[in-house]
Structure 1
Amino acid sequence: MPRRLAISDIHGCARTFEALLDRISFGTTDELYLLGDFVDRGPRSAQVLEYVIKLQDDGYRVHGLRGNHDQYMVDAILIGDKRSRAAWRSAGASSTKKSYVTEDNPEGRIDPIHVFWLNELPYYYLLDDYILIHAGLNFRRRNPLKGRKAMLNRRNWYRHIDYDWLGDRKIVHGHTPLTRLQVEAQGHPRRRAYPVFAIDAGCFHVKPGMGHLCAMNLDERTFTFVPNLDR
């Protein structure tokens, strides 16, 4: 039976990402939502983007969202001003640039197809029962889905949730890393009435309890983890 799955904050961890897809037996009938931050921090950003694009080309139903790190990369390359370059540099651009260096590409030229793909990504997905975003929502807006900065960057926004606007939908997001135990706790029956699921298990982090990539089954509201394999 087709499943709906969500993964966030891959952060250049291509081997971990492939292992997670293998663990969940991802198939062509499944719908996979990737909630942004494909690049930076981890060592294989170029390989992550290449793999995701190949999955789409091979007929897999993969839907990407843009994260703040993806936006930093796009702005640094397409806008290219001093401020944009500095923002990406401080966010972890060096690891992304190194991932493009190969024998055939010793200068590490960034694939323009990757930049175009990132620049075409939407800021959210609106499903019948879920809102999928990278970071957060600005509930001070009449329509929170108009707040692009919040969807890329916001933290600590739960106390502002407008439950009337949200209705019966749940929100799934990444951006703010949690321990594996904190992510798993969201599946507890006593918590299932809460409208938010955070699924960034801190793949590139070395803090205790982090260092995992997480896939959420949106239909069953269960979580699958693999530890970082890219260190």
Structure 2
Amino acid sequence: MKRTLVIGDIHGGYKALLQVLESAKVTSNDTLIFLGDYVDGWSESAETIEKLIELSISNTCVFIRGNHDLWCGLWLEKGVTNPIWLEHGGKETINSYIQSGYLSKNTHKKFFETLHNYYIDEKERLFLHAGFTSMHGAGNEEYESNYYWDRTLWEAALLADKVEEKTLEDILTKPKRFNYYKEIYIGHTPTTNYNKDTPIKAHNVWNIDTGAAFKGKLTILDIDTKEFWQSEPLPYLYPDERGRN
């Protein structure tokens, strides 16, 4: 059986990644779509990237770029850091690369260079890290940074989910950017912000970031059946660390 599985923000939680791959019984027949933010947070960012590179050989994989991946990629390529990145998990990522010995591996640099801003499958399902603002679809976004920073898509989905299509006025209030895609899958905004550690669907948007960077879990979801599997909460897997708390 061939499945398409989407995986939320990992944030250096290598142990959690191994858990969800095992729980979902992932095989080489499965297509894996990762929504970005592979690094920054827990102590095994470099190990996480190494595992993703291995998966790209054994499986059909799509890797989306997250805002944390942008920072890490710039550091690996040019040695560039910034205080915001260092404060939000960058220090842990740097330590992971130094301690693991993966700092010198060109495959890691290439991994970050080849990430996608978004992906649309053959069934018009859109995958991206954060969002987009263009009323003409993701491919017409004016600012590339919105793909990995924007939260207005998710906020609009939450609002649109409350609108009942009873009148023409109600229908017109629904954001037109949703109309281009059957479904949209995002990360970036933890569902734990809404007191949930499971995926949340709002309008036609699925939020798969279930707080693995903080006190939540990592999630992998079958996009056809909507069955999902989760790791243990990350603080249980890394009891001596604080993640991005």
What band does the TM-score fall into relative to the shorter chain?
0.7 to 0.9
SS in 2 for 1:33: strand
TM-score by length of 2: 0.78
Task: Work out whether 1:115 is the aligned partner of 2:124.
Answer: no
Question: Residues 65 and 123 of structure 1 are in contact (CA less than 8 Å); yes or no, is this contact kept in structure 2?
Answer: yes
Question: Residues 76 and 88 of structure 1 are in contact (CA less than 8 Å); yes or no, is this contact kept in structure 2?
Answer: no
For 1:197, the aligned partner's letter is W
Q: CA deviation at 1:54?
A: 1.1
- Distance across 1 between alignment mates of 2:177 and 2:24: 35
- Distance across 2 between alignment mates of 1:137 and 1:121: 17
Quote the residue 2:223 is aligned against.
218
Task: Work out whether 1:138 is the aligned partner of 2:147.
Answer: no
Residues 72-121 of structure 1 deviation map (CA, whole Å, 9 limit, x = unaligned): 1122343445xx5334323321101111233x84xx84533212211111
Q: CA deviation at 1:184?
A: 4.0
Quote the residue 2:214 is aligned against.
205
Question: Residues 6 and 33 of structure 2 are in contact (CA less than 8 Å); yes or no, is this contact kept in structure 1?
Answer: yes
Quote the residue 1:172 is aligned against.
185
- Distance across 2 between alignment mates of 1:183 and 1:125: 25
Residues 138-183 of structure 1 deviation map (CA, whole Å, 9 limit, x = unaligned): 135x343334211101113342864376345111000001139736
- Distance across 1 between alignment mates of 2:10 and 2:180: 30
- Distance across 2 between alignment mates of 1:214 and 1:35: 11
Query: Structure 1 vs Structure 2: percent identity of aligned residues?
Result: 26
Give unmatched runs, 5+ long, in structure 2: 158-173, 240-245
* Alignment map for 1:123-134 (pairs within 5 Å): 123-127=117-121, 128-134=123-129
- Distance across 1 between alignment mates of 2:185 and 2:14: 22
Task: Work out whether 1:26 is the aligned partner of 2:31.
Answer: no
Of 161-170 and 146-155, more deviation after overlay is shown by 161-170
Q: CA deviation at 1:63?
A: 1.6
* Alignment map for 1:7-18 (pairs within 5 Å): 7-18=7-18
- Distance across 1 between alignment mates of 2:199 and 2:127: 19
In the alignment of these two chains, the number of paired residues is 215
Question: Residues 203 and 213 of structure 1 are in contact (CA less than 8 Å); yes or no, is this contact kept in structure 2?
Answer: yes
Deviating beyond 4 angstroms after TM superposition, the runs of 4 or more aligned structure 1 residues are none
Shift in CA distance, 10/164, structure 1 to aligned 2, threshold 3 Å: closer
Quote the residue 2:68 is aligned against.
69
Task: Work out whether 1:52 is the aligned partner of 2:52.
Answer: yes
Question: Residues 183 and 198 of structure 1 are in contact (CA less than 8 Å); yes or no, is this contact kept in structure 2?
Answer: no
Q: CA RMSD in A?
A: 2.5
Quote the residue 1:153 is aligned against.
149
Please identify which structure carries the higher helix content.
2
